[in-house]
Amino acid sequence: MDVKEIKQQFPILQQEVNGSPLVYLDSAATSQKPNNVIEAVSDYYRRYNSNVHRGVHTLGGMATDGYEGAREKVRSFIHAPSTRNIIFTRGTTTAVNTVASSYGRANLQEGDEIVLTPMEHHSNIIPWQQAAKATGASLKYMPMQEDGTLSLEDVRSTITSNTKIVAVTHVSNVLGTINPIKEITQIAHQHDAVTVVDGAQSVPHMRVDVQDLDCDFFAFSGHKMGGPTGIGVLYGKKRLLEKMEPVEFGGEMIDFVDLYDSTWKETPWKFEGGTPLIAGAIGLGAAIDFLEDIGMENIEAHEEELAQYALQSLRSIDGLHIYGPKERAALVTFNIDDVHPHDAATALDIGGIAVRAGHHCAQPLMKWLNVVATARASFYIYNTKEDVDALTDGLIKTKEYFGDVFA
């Protein structure tokens, strides 16, 4: 895998920021977009923009083919059995909300438990808080090991016969922890609970096979994998989706409409009320083509190498604390003694290095770590060891600067 050649295909990365070449280390927030994605979106608007599933005319057919073709690309990418399992959403947040609002509210009642982990992103916590409030079910958090991993013994002792839903992230956006989804799902299924997996940080970076994981629902976003913002995916098992009611009602999702009652299309279309983000879906399809051309195995190997190199480099900086386990996805969350993460992020930005600072939409996890905020560098297919070196160098200078101030 030729990273320099890959980077060439991302126009945004060819610029200078504050007088230095841009070093983009915030892909866990959103990834940059390759030329073929930008062109696919532009080509749709220039050549065949039309509404889907209704036009008899030629362009309507092309738009429908583009949109449904993207669904097939997603199906194949995550190894789902059928395109009927693939619902297009606005992103991971909407996908989780769809499960919580539809499946959750219909199947939960007082005495039931929703099991979560302390490392969830807000988008996999708040929909469940709301579903619990609406149904009288309760939330229950698994304990976490000191290094930010889950132990299967804890998973076993937390999930009980009262558990109806287990909502867990595949990869933590803060700790980089890769959770054992297959094993967790097995345990959940022994108790007749369903698993809802937040795959926002896994699908862009590793080969995901939803049938092998055997999870019941799986959610992810297009914009973290080279695709446009505003498009995401909810995968669900067919027998569950078939029983679920839509969350949004209106155009596009109906079968027959009468004055006082209506019926819905079949899944997945009954969940896609309104004109969908057609260009976004087509762009996501192009992003999948891009990733598959490189090969997910190659991407995994590249990122594993970067993650370990970054860990090793940052560990050499005195007074820098790294959160999360050794075995991790390609991101490093850290703090420097006496330097607030915002101040560190501003100092790095002056050198053209973009990192995230704050709570990373994981306030409960910040509490667990006993910090108010952290800085995070996250890597993707276009990042190199030189980028890690720039980060390390920038952090050493930042530490010197603030060290002088505090001296």
Partner 1 sequence: MSLHSNLDTLYRQVIMDHYKNPRNKGDMEGETLHVNMNNPTCGDRIQLQLRVEDDKISDAKFVGEGCSISLSSASMMTEAVKGQPVENALEMSNIFSQMMQGEDYDDEKYDLGDIEALQGVTKFPARIKCATLAWKAMEKGLDNEEEEETD
Residues taking part in catalysis: 361
Taking the complex as a whole, how short is the minimal distance between the CB of residue 390 and partner 1, in angstroms?
Answer: 12
Binding window for partner 1 (CB under 8 A); candidates: 34-42, 53-61, 320-328, 353-361: 353-361
Does the footprint of partner 1 cover residue 256 (CB under 8 A)?
Answer: no
Q: Does 405 bind partner 1 (CB under 8 A)?
A: yes
Determine, following the binding rule CB under 8 A, whether residue 397 of this chain makes contact with partner 1.
yes
At a CB cut-off of 8 Å and minimum separation 6, what does 238 contact?
81, 82, 84, 85, 267
Distance, CA of 308 to CA of 287 (rounded, Å): 26
Q: In the set 164, 359, 376, 399, which binds partner 1 (CB under 8 A)?
A: 359
Q: Are 391 and 355 in contact (CB under 8 A)?
A: yes
Interface with partner 1, residue 25, by CB under 8 A? no
- Check binding of 363 to partner 1 (CB under 8 A): yes
19: helix, coil or strand? coil
Q: How far is CA 131 from the centre of its chain?
A: 21
Nearer to partner 1, 72 or 349 (CB): 349
Query: Could you say whether residue 121 binds partner 1 (CB under 8 A)?
Result: no
Q: How many other C-beta atoms lie within 10 A of the C-beta of residue 71?
A: 22
Look up residue 231 and give its two tokens.
């498009």
Which amino acid does the sequence have at 185? T
Q: Which of 154, 248, 300, 343 binds partner 1 (CB under 8 A)?
A: 343
- The smaller minimum CB distance to partner 1, of residues 117 and 398, is found at 398
Could you count the other beta carbons within 10 Å of the beta carbon of residue 83?
Answer: 16
Q: Is 13 in the site for partner 1 (CB under 8 A)?
A: no
State which residue, 202 or 398, has the beta carbon closest to partner 1.
398
Binding segment (CB under 8 A) for partner 1, from list 59-67, 205-213, 299-307, 390-398? 390-398
User: Based on the number of CB atoms within 10 Å of its own CB, is 300 exposed (0-12), middle (13-18) or buried (19 or more)?
Assistant: middle
Provide the 8-state DSSP code for 244. P
Q: Round to whole Å and give the CA distance between 319 and 126.
A: 34
Is 353 near partner 1 (CB under 8 A)?
A: no
**Residue 173 Cβ, how far from partner 1 at the closest point, in Å?**
15
CB closer to partner 1, 18 vs 157: 18
Q: How far lies 232's CA from each of 55, 94, 224, 305, in Å? A: 24, 8, 10, 28
Of the two residues 264 and 401, which places its CB atom closer to partner 1 in the complex? Answer: 401
Considering the rule CB under 8 A, would residue 358 count as an interface residue with partner 1?
A: yes
Helix (H) or strand (E) segment spanning residue 242? helix 238-243
Q: Which of residues 262-321 bind partner 1 (CB under 8 A)?
A: none
**ω before 268 within 30° of 0 (cis)?**
yes
**List 351, 383, 388, 395, residue binding partner 1 (CB under 8 A):** 351
Least separation in angstroms between CB 232 and partner 1: 21
The SS3 call for residue 176 is coil
Determine the distance from the C-alpha atom of residue 138 to the mean position of all C-alpha atoms in its chain, rounded to a whole number. 25
Please count the residues of this chain forming the interface with partner 1, following the rule CB under 8 A: 24
Residues 6+ apart with CB under 8 A from 111: 136, 137, 162
**Residue number, 268 or 351, with CB nearest to partner 1:** 351
| Residue type at 231 in one-letter notation | I
Single residue of 28, 341, 387, 391 touching partner 1 by CB under 8 A: 341
By the rule CB under 8 A, 16 interacts with partner 1: no
Task: Return d(Cα 70, Cα 54) in angstroms, integer.
Answer: 18
Give the residues lining the site for partner 1 (CB under 8 A).
Answer: 18-19, 340-343, 346-347, 349-351, 357-359, 363, 366, 372-373, 394, 397-398, 401, 405-406
